[in-house]
């Protein structure tokens, strides 16, 4: 445990040097990343790198989770839609940030969704489905986070975003770039650097054959 505490401190100090705010760091400090990893990767929980979680999926590097949360500007009481639950780590951090709000998270694989549900707090609702279509039942959303790369911003997600809301999404296949999308009287997109994510598979995403 002492070793983990030291690793966590080093990680959070490195996030501060990257310009990550204290609200995001505090939320991440309340979530034990080791609880969202397969046992064989447990000792790497606070390494700042993506790690495999099975079924060809990964858990994002902590600095990427922090950066995406900061760009999303999550506040208490908001309703957030996450596309790509994975092991549930990013959803758990979002749950801390909304504190009184709700996170709806869509996972493509039912077995992963079931495992994530068992780990996540009560203000996270995990749905199995096609994340590229969003979740219209609970729309509109204040914020939408996409943790897999799409060909472009899926139109259903834009439609389900509240006016004044934000989407953070990686776009591209061979070369991917992280975008902040703001919806006001017009749609504004800002690029925030090269990234590497698994692909968003679905009706408004990539096709299964694109993964091969």
Q: Please identify every residue annotated as catalytic.
A: 60
Between CA 166 and CA 180 the distance in angstroms is 7
* Token pair belonging to 168: 């953070």
CA distances (Å), origin 182, targets 53, 73, 98, 132, 161:
31, 11, 19, 18, 9
Between CA 170 and CA 152 the distance in angstroms is 8
Between CA 1 and CA 57 the distance in angstroms is 27
């Amino acid at each position: 445990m002492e070793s983990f505490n030291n690793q966590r401190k080093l990680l959070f100090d490195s996030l501060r040097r990257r310009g990550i705010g204290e609200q995001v760091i505090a939320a991440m400090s309340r979530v034990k990343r080791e609880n969202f990893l397969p046992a064989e990767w447990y000792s790497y929980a606070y390494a700042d790198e993506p790690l495999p979680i099975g079924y060809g999926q990964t858990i994002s590097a902590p600095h990427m989770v922090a950066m995406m949360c900061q760009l999303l500007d999550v506040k208490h009481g908001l309703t957030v839609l996450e596309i790509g639950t994975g092991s549930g780590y990013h959803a758990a951090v979002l749950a801390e940030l909304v504190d009184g709000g709700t996170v709806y998270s869509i996972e493509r694989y039912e077995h992963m969704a079931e495992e994530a549900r068992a780990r996540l707090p009560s203000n996270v609702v995990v749905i199995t489905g096609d994340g590229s279509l969003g979740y219209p039942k609970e729309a509109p959303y204040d914020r939408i986070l996409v943790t897999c790369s799409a060909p472009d911003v899926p139109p259903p997600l834009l439609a389900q975003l509240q006016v004044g809301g934000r989407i953070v999404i990686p776009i591209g296949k061979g070369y991917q770039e992280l975008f902040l999308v703001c919806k006001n009287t017009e749609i504004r997109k800002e690029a925030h650097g090269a990234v590497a994510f698994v692909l968003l598979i679905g009706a408004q995403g990539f096709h299964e054959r694109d993964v091969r």
